[in-house]
Chains A and B, each alone.
Chain A
Amino acid sequence: MAVVFERPKALCDVPLHYCPGCTHGIVHRLVAEVIDEMGIEGETVGVCPVGCSVFAYDYFNCDMIEAPHGRAPAVATGVKRSNPDKFVFTYQGDGDLAAIGTAETVHVGARGENIVVIFINNTIYGMTGGQMAPTTLIGQVTQTTPFGRDSQLAGNPIRVCEMMATLSGTALAQRVAVDTVPHIRETKKAIRKAFENQKEKRGLSIVEVLSTCPTNWGLSPIDAIKRLQDEMIPYYPLGVYKDITAEGGNK
């Protein structure tokens, strides 16, 4: 019988710890598919963050390093600078990348560090039980914004791709989502482009993936997808914010 669907080789054959309805699994799979298709698993080093995806070192079959909270881009810089022929990616959540690790994130863009950053934006800290993230939307209720995020008290959510697109070393800054099959396909294309950029030594590629956190949002997986579409995409518009390979295609 023809095999129509199987586990990518770059994903280990182990159960993932993610909650039901969480979209980390989809993004892990897409990254692994790209690694498989490019045949680069043996030449790839991944860097995990602190947060829900901290255990990604047990899920990706390539060599993996676990970084301190927010420092994955710096760790990846060390890996890439000493091993310029290897593919290096980080996989980070919004608290990791856009709060504690903002300096590290901005400076890999400023330096044009030739790495891939996969950025999971689900507007909340998942691992610690649902606190306000730098990307938490105005009015969103979390453990640390029990009356909804108030911009007067807690500032406004950061649009990371828009910010990273301003940096001259950024080759690709693209926001995608994993709420529908067409969007998932688009996400995979963006991840592929990011790794191809690294192959061609074009600089930093960041792919921001709008994702869900049904557990900490207090929603069913289906309602969580609906929230992503109705509330997140309007504030975080999907699209290519910078692509140095495109001709006039930037937002």
Chain B
Amino acid sequence: MERNLMKGNEALAEAAIRAGCKCFFGYPITPQTELAAYMAKRMNKAGGVFLQAESEIAAVNMVLGAASTGVRAMTSSSSPGISLKSEGISYLAGSDVPAVIINVERGGPGLGGIQPSQQDYWQATKGLGHGDFHLIVYAPASVQEMVDMVVTAFNKADEYRVPAMILADGLLGQMMEPVAFPEISAEQPDKSSWAANGHKNSREHHIVNSLYIDPKTLEDKIIERYERYAKIKENEADAELYLTDDADIVVCAFGATSRVVKSAINDARAMGIKVGMCRPKTVWPFPEKQIREACANASKVLCVEMSMGQMIDDVKLALNCEKPVEFFGRTGGVIPTPAEVLDKIKSMGGNK
């Protein structure tokens, strides 16, 4: 398969176009702006729609409009912009409208900084807007994986009628790596049972809506949605296990951080330390089973994140707090080094 050297942000855009995304609505924000710039160049030629909206809020609502008619639509932003999109994301979820949202995370809170971060983990996995709802959240660790996960995100969003997010970070967005684009079937799922794209006088009118004034009706809607979430949890949770079979220490890390951790693990292994890694590829649903399996023979667990510690909560829950879970993180846009992670591993006494 042909491989091209591409910047992460541009690869995300190209993958979306190839996945049949017909509409991209964006707004500039560092460090994801190359994605919108690439779309501006490519989308119209590819027969789709590119529009720079007046705000992140407008952009996500344009996605709501386009996706409500049954076309594949996407928006992208970085942390502060995702906060603005959270209203629209809640409406997408509450209206059962599939769409893809990309977050190329930067430091927060507030305006924060423009360097890579994983501080939006809680936001993405627990509270991306008001109400009882989830998105499927993918956490790529390479440019190739960003490509593959964009395609999967569109497919799974359609399959379950939920919004899906790519939770990347400024490191992945800005790095260049060789990528291959998979062959993608032009066939897209039939949305004619719900899409609001004109009834052509041949069916009842369709309503795409999230308002249910009667509490029981709203409760029923949410319960039905949670039945879909249960299927997603069962079928879509995914993780990469690295050298965990004999590991006494298992490190949990996702996204770009996992690459730093992998380097540290290789160095530690060379020193005879039995350490491995469990890398969630989906952070919602959280790969609880995989983490439990990976940690089955470990005596200690370490969570490494580019934050003050967010995913660590889910790791502890997955393990029912039966094993000690330590934390190492850098935040505000500071990237942990392999040496720092190695020091932490050594300090945990995994020298057996």
Contacts and interface: CB of A to CB of B under 8 A. Distances in A.
Interface in A20-67: 41-45, 47, 54-55, 57-58, 60-67
A30 B210 CA distance: 26
A81 B57 contact: no
A158 B159 CA distance: 45
A104 B208 contact: no
B198 A82 contact: no
Contacts of B64: 65, 67-68, 71, 74-75, 78
B185 interface: no
Nearest to A61: B205
A64 B208 contact: yes
User: Could you say which interface size class chain A belongs to?
Assistant: 35 or more
Contact of B65 (A79, A106, A107): A79
Nearest to B68: A65
A39 B111 CA distance: 50
Top 9 A-B pairs, shortest CB-CB distance: A78-B65, A78-B62, A74-B61, A75-B65, A63-B196, A78-B66, A42-B201, A71-B61, A66-B209
Contact of B88 (A68, A80, A81): A68
**Which residue among A12, A64, A74, A104 has the maximum number of chain B CB atoms within 10 Å of its CB?**
A74
Contacts of A76: 65
A63 B199 contact: yes
A82 B207 contact: no
Given A77-B58, A78-B69, 10 more contacts: A42-B198, A67-B61, A67-B64, A67-B65, A67-B91, A74-B61, A79-B68, A81-B51, A82-B65, A104-B54
Nearest to B95: A66
B201 A41 contact: yes
Contacts of B240: none
Contacts of B53: 74, 107
Contacts of A80: 65
B35 to A, nearest CB: 18
B58 A107 contact: yes
Interface in A104-154: 104, 106-107
Interface in B171-206: 196-202, 205-206
Contacts of A83: 69, 71, 197-198
A82 B61 contact: no
A42 B202 contact: yes
A64 B54 contact: no
B58 A82 contact: no
A82 B206 contact: no
Contacts of A61: 205
B66 A79 contact: yes
